Amino acid sequence: MKKTILLIFLILFGAVTVFMSSSVLFDWFGIRAKEGNYVPLVVWANFLCGILYLIAAFGILQNKSWVRIPLVASLIVLILAYMNLFTHITTGGLYETKTIFAMAFRFGLTSLFLFITIKILKK
């Protein structure tokens, strides 16, 4: 049951992340204009994380032992993106305040995905 719920959340969150970040990056449906002062590296990091969430979901679906690797990689990507975001901010770059909170939320959720995955795989 927990595995199914995790799988659904990873697929949904991964798909939405890939869709939204690619919409900003490639200006689909006019979403880029609605995002305001986005930081390109953060959006690219989110795009990559979305793909990694989908890879992790595939690994869970296939009962693969490597399923933790894409989630750990996502955390590393997010840490590096967060560091870049703060460098961008301190050097006077334009940004949206919501980006800071969105990155913290994404980091926390990815950590939760990893924690649950480790718990499920131990059983």
**Nearest CA among 66, 46, 48, 47 for reference residue 56:** 66
Where in the sequence is the domain holding 101, given as residue range(s)?
A: 2-122
Q: How confident is the model at residue 92 (pLDDT cuts 50, 70, 90)?
A: very high
Tens digit of each residue's pLDDT (9 = 90 or more) over 37-78: 889 999 999 999 999 999 999 999 998 989 999 999 999 999
pLDDT at 9: 96
CB 82 within 8 Å of CB 103: yes
Q: In the structure encoding, which two tokens stand for residue 52, read together?
A: 């990694």
- CA 5, CA 17: separation in Å to the nearest integer? 18
Q: How confident is the model at residue 123 (pLDDT cuts 50, 70, 90)?
A: low
Tens digit of each residue's pLDDT (9 = 90 or more) over 11-35: 999 999 999 999 999 988 888 878 8
- As for how many domains the chain has, the answer is 1
pLDDT at 78: 97
pLDDT at 51: 98
Segment 103-116 mean pLDDT: 96
